[in-house]
Amino acid sequence: MHLPKPSSPRQEALGQPVWRSASWAFGSSGEHADVVAGHRPGYTYGRVDNPTVDAFAAAVAALEGAAAPEDVAGQAFCSGMAAITGTLLTFLGNGSHVVAPAQVSGATYTLLAGVLSRFGVSADFVDHSDLRGVRAAIRPTTKILYAETLAAPAMAVADIRGLYQVAREAGALLVVDSTFATPVVCRPLEHGADLVIHSATTYMGGHDDCVGGVVVGRPDLVAKVRQTRIDTGSALSPDDAFLLRRGLETLTLRVRRMCSTAMVFAAALARHPHVRRVDYPGLPTHPGHQTARNLFDSGPEGTRFGAVVTLTPHGGFEAGVALADRLRTAAIAPSAGGTHTRAVHLASVARSDESVPGVDAGAVRFAIGLEDAEDLIADVTQALDALGSLPRART
């Protein structure tokens, strides 16, 4: 039985349509062959391409490439890690080498050190604030210089312009994970990056209700990434693509508010007597402060330094656990970019192979949401005040 086809509306829809079709029909075998071969535009199968997914990827490419020196294309994936994996698989092979930051995200570390290493890919993890050290880590087999615009937990700021020079000297690609920055804070393509990756689950989605990733950059490079995505079956679902693109409509408003709140939050809590250290690039004491001012966007509220703050209380591991567990407004939860602030005691969930360089056992990472700064400061203050009653804790 064939049901009647719904008619297409004559008016333009203000909302993004969701195309849930897994397959597409053609008027002839010749048309089918032309679309499959790429001789004419069109859609064939959901694993290959989808118009709702393409609309999301194109929107991110437009945001990241607003002032890029070259045309920018995008490809969406089913998660941020799928986007990272697809990109690395595209340009690495047996014998390839990667230079990544010492504070690279745990999942990316595991991918490089625990998965790709089994297929002959080697990686060095170095302090990206030391460009001489980065140069020293380069080998003749280095194919990718991998960076994170803002690297948690110490919120290290990548000197993208300096890393661009190192990558060019080495003949390597500069690939930047800019998840914690978003295009509202920094657009690495403008500073020399070849490809930019986002876990769209965070700020782009913004409401903790979808998962996705995206890669943007030069069309010739992105075309190769697209083929890897197709071959590995890492397609983003149309429904998640719809939610992610809808999130982009309010991305600027949300990120500006979060960055402004994070600045007030970090400055206020740095003065608390039970706080040993606050890592936030908006603070003049942060080692990446000037680099951030040189790279990051600003508005009436000042430079945007991101919305992730790592707070370390005096007292080590026990103090960090107690701080996180006493929070009332902020929730203990992973990820970032949602409307609600969440906190993570880092040592409780750290990668098992080693401690993260430069991070105290008591450190708690806060991903700032849309609450009022005064409410968040009051919440953390009451939790910090209670630490005075703890017995002397190990560090």
CA distances from 251 to 54, 80, 246, 337, 363 (A): 18, 17, 9, 10, 28
Residue 354 is predicted with a pLDDT of 43
CATH superfamily of 251-389: Aspartate Aminotransferase, domain 1 (3.90.1150.10)
> pLDDT tens digits for 177-200?
999 999 999 999 999 999 999 999
Read off the pTM: 0.93
The three-class DSSP label of residue 209 is: coil
| Mean pLDDT (whole number) for 254-271 | 98
Confidence class for position 12, pLDDT limits 50, 70, 90 = confident
| Mean pLDDT (whole number) for 250-264 | 98
Q: Is residue 97 within a helix (H) or strand (E), and if so which, with residue range?
A: strand 97-101
Over 50: is that where the pLDDT of 309 sits?
yes
Report yes or no: 196 and 212 within 8 Å, Cβ to Cβ. Answer: no
> pLDDT tens digits for 44-98?
999 999 999 999 999 999 999 988 888 999 999 999 999 999 999 999 999 999 9
CA 47 – CA 57 distance, rounded (Å)? 15
User: Architecture of domain 29-248 in CATH?
Assistant: 3-Layer(aba) Sandwich (3.40)
350: alpha, beta or left, given left = phi > 0 and alpha = psi -120 to 50?
beta
Confidence class for position 112, pLDDT limits 50, 70, 90 = very high
Q: Which amino acid belongs to residue 219?
A: P
CA distances from 333 to 79, 110, 340, 343 (A): 18, 21, 10, 6
Which residue spans of the chain are classified as CATH 3.90.1150.10? 251-389
Residue 389 is predicted with a pLDDT of 64
CA distances from 359 to 110, 151, 164 (A): 19, 12, 27
Which residue spans of the chain are classified as CATH 3.40.640.10? 29-248
> pLDDT tens digits for 323-381?
999 999 999 999 999 999 999 999 998 754 344 555 789 999 999 999 999 999 999 99
Report yes or no: 311 and 157 within 8 Å, Cβ to Cβ. Answer: no
Question: Residue 187: which residues within 8 A CB-CB, separation 6 or more?
Answer: 63, 64, 65, 66, 67, 68, 178, 196
| Mean pLDDT (whole number) for 136-142 | 98
User: For residue 42, how far is the Cα from the chain centroid?
Assistant: 30
